[in-house]
Amino acid sequence: MHQNVDLVIDGSKISGRRGETVLDAALRYGICIPHLCHMPTLTDIGACRLCIVDHIKNGRSKVTTSCTLLVQEGMVIDANSERVRGLRRNIAELLVTQAPNSRAIQDIALRCGVTEPRYEFRSDDCVLCGRCVRACKEHYQAHAIGFVGRGQERHVEYPFREKPESCIMCRACVTLCPMSITPCDGPMKSGEGYFCGKCASLTQAPQYEAGDCTRCDLGEGFDCSGHL
């Protein structure tokens, strides 16, 4: 038996289950809040910050990540306020210019309204979303990979750079990775400052409007389609 709480997201009244996050509740109702590091069944760490929403309380609103915010009775959430959309666009811009060679990331960026990135492209092949690391640890207790180093040096690595015996070769790290689910090897090379536009499905992707799920490509790799 779930204990339910009523809350309002983007003006729609929805019924959340006590203990679930605002993001999970929203996705169950087909309200798509962009997200990247969130994966159902993995602990949420709030790393990508794409899932930010306005949490309105006592007339004040506070920006916070919906994947780490638990539903509460009477909560009012605005996942698409102008402020949130602007901030989200800026975060997506940071992400896509850092790691442009993934269709998943490009898709997120376009959908969040990034059209002309203002920073020079780099070509990282990891966005440090931690899906692989958490799957390895939480699903398989393998502890074979982890985040090593801090700040700019943070990266995913085996201990002492050698594959440990604890790795059970499940390949979960590869199948969950937004960089490898939908790689894009062509246009986004470091130094080229704009989207090439060759990828029709992406450029046609409509910007997200409040309330309507666009069933984007991301759904497959990113598991919100499963909720619908």
Whichever of 94 and 128 has its CB closer to ligand SF4, that residue is 128
Question: x/- contact string, 156-195, with another protein (CB under 8 A)?
Answer: --xxx---x-x-----------------------------
132 belongs to the binding site for ligand SF4 (CB under 6 A): yes
Distance CA 67, CA 13 (A): 19
Q: How many residues does the chain have?
A: 228
**What is the arrangement of strands in the sheet containing 75-78, beginning at the earlier edge strand?**
12-17, 4-9, 75-78, 52-57, 60-65
111 belongs to the binding site for ligand SF4 (CB under 6 A): no
The SS3 call for residue 121 is coil
Query: Which residues make Cβ contacts (< 8 Å) with residue 41, sequence separation at least 6?
Result: 138, 139
Distance CA 55, CA 58 (A): 10
- Residue 148 binds which of another protein, ligand FES, ligand SF4, none (CB < 5-8 A, kind-dependent): another protein
Distance CA 195, CA 115 (A): 8
- Residue 131 binds which of ligand FES, another protein, ligand SF4, none (CB < 5-8 A, kind-dependent): ligand SF4
E-state strands within 58-138: 60-65, 75-78
218 belongs to the binding site for ligand SF4 (CB under 6 A): no
94 belongs to the binding site for another protein (CB under 8 A): yes
- The count of chain residues that interact with ligand SF4, using the rule CB under 6 A, is 12
User: Which residue in the set 63, 87, 94, 156 belongs to the binding site for ligand SF4 (CB under 6 A)?
Assistant: 156
**Least distance between ligand FES and beta carbon 33 (Å):** 8
Rounded to whole angstroms, the maximal C-alpha distance in the chain is 54
Whichever of 68 and 225 has its CB closer to another protein, that residue is 68
71 belongs to the binding site for ligand FES (CB under 6 A): no
